[in-house]
Structure 1
Amino acid sequence: MHDNRTDGPAIPSSSGRPWWAANEALAFLVELVALGCLFWWGFSLGDNLAVQLLLGIGVLAIAIALWGTFAAPRARIRLPLAGVLAIKAVVLGGGALALYGVGHPVAAVALAVVVVANTGLAETFRRRPASAV
């Protein structure tokens, strides 16, 4: 008998689910790009190299700490879906805003569109049974 429960936050297997696996790979890439953009933005705020590095690394460290604590697949603190989505909005949306802040508005909009589509698909895939995807 097949169990069709979809209320749990279980991470599905990528076996037989190529779209899910591709979206998860894209999610990882988007996370890295957002973190890179946050570092770039922080770095751009300083007057000299030491301050630039401090700000870039500081912004990056805060984003990584938020992500690892609350939004990563193996987060130390499990928030309800709304909380996880809020952290994702701060970090991933912050990456798009950071890209805008360093003078690339078109790329920022493109990143924001990819973030929203990828996150929406990821949450849909996580809550549907393998046979329905």
Structure 2
Amino acid sequence: MRWFNLGLRFVLELCAFAALAYGGWHVPGPTWVRILAAVALPVAGAVVWARWVAPKASHPIPDPLRLVPEWVVFGGATAALLLTGHFVLAGVLALLAAGNRWALHALRTGTGGDPA
């Protein structure tokens, strides 16, 4: 069960970055602004993730403070989906991300797969 939840978490991270790129592409403005936003938003999310949340983060934050950058990324992705009119996808992403985080906590598993 632990490995399933860790695999799901990885897929959800990729979905969050894709949602940020999609949201960036739908920013109003000229094409160059849309391209810039479509690249910058997921890169910013990836930097936040790599710095504080990833299993080999450069500056890992212990639980429960780790929830802050996690929800910045997942919340931003959910907001991007909401703002582009994908209400069901936004709800699914938010519920799966929250449920997955709860399952990892219940299994006493850290986000890197280590026992918490």
Q: TM-score, normalised by structure 2?
A: 0.87
Shift of 1:121: 1.0
Q: Retained in 1: the 8 A contact 2:81–2:90?
A: yes
Superposition map of 1:1-133 within 5 A: 19-125=1-107, 126=109
Q: Retained in 2: the 8 A contact 1:35–1:63?
A: yes
What SS is found at the alignment partner of 1:82? coil
Whichever of the two has the greater Rg, that structure is 1
Point out where structure 2 has 5 or more consecutive residues left out of the alignment. 111-116
Alignment coverage as a number of residue pairs = 109
- Report % sequence identity: 27
Write out per-residue CA displacement over residues 63-91 of structure 1, whole angstroms, 9 at most, x where no aligned residue: 01000000001111021212211111110
Point out where structure 1 has 5 or more consecutive residues left out of the alignment. 1-18, 128-133
Q: Which moved more, 1:69-78 or 1:43-52?
A: 43-52
Question: Please, what is the CA RMSD of the aligned residues?
Answer: 1.3
Q: TM-score, normalised by structure 1?
A: 0.77
What SS is found at the alignment partner of 1:83? coil
